Amino acid sequence: MKLISIIALGLILAGCSTSQVNIAQKTLTGLEVATTGAYDSYTALVIKGSLATNNVPAISHAFNDFEASMQVAIVVAQANTNALATTNLVIASEKVINLITTVTGNH
């Protein structure tokens, strides 16, 4: 779903100037890759048994909030090619990554 949304954003923005497309796409894609990468790494450690499952609900909730914000950001970017990541999206990303960093410690 996430990858499809990002690809759709890229296709819709294709009619805009290259710099506008690159800025919007790289900003949203960068946040998506960083946040999803952190979440995927965290869940892999939980599945492996290296981390307890106690924090899964809070981190999953934060990740779901991030994904909802990402969907809004994609809609906004589709309507306005100059739109960068919203403050809410950046905060949602930071929340996920900070929770994971706190829980994982030195893993």
State yes or no: pLDDT of 97 exceeds 80: yes
pLDDT tier for residue 44 given thresholds of 50, 70 and 90: very high
The reply to whether 33 falls in a domain is: yes
User: Could you tell me the two tokens for 102?
Assistant: 């706190």
Whole-angstrom Cα distance, residue 75 to residue 94?
Answer: 21
Whole-angstrom Cα distance, residue 91 to residue 32?
Answer: 13
State yes or no: pLDDT of 107 exceeds 80: no
Q: What is the mean pLDDT of residues 28-43?
A: 92
Tally of structural domains, the chain = 1
The reply to whether 10 falls in a domain is: no
The reply to whether 2 falls in a domain is: no
The reply to whether 9 falls in a domain is: no
Q: What is the mean pLDDT of residues 25-37?
A: 88
Start-to-end Cα distance in the chain: 28
Check residue 6 and give its pLDDT: 47
Domain that holds residue 23: 17-104
Tell me what the pLDDT averaged over the chain comes to: 79
Q: What is the mean pLDDT of residues 44-57?
A: 94
User: Could you tell me the two tokens for 22?
Assistant: 């690159």
Whole-angstrom Cα distance, residue 31 to residue 42?
Answer: 16
The reply to whether 28 falls in a domain is: yes
The reply to whether 3 falls in a domain is: no
State yes or no: pLDDT of 64 exceeds 50: yes
User: Cα 83 vs. chain centroid, distance in angstroms?
Assistant: 16
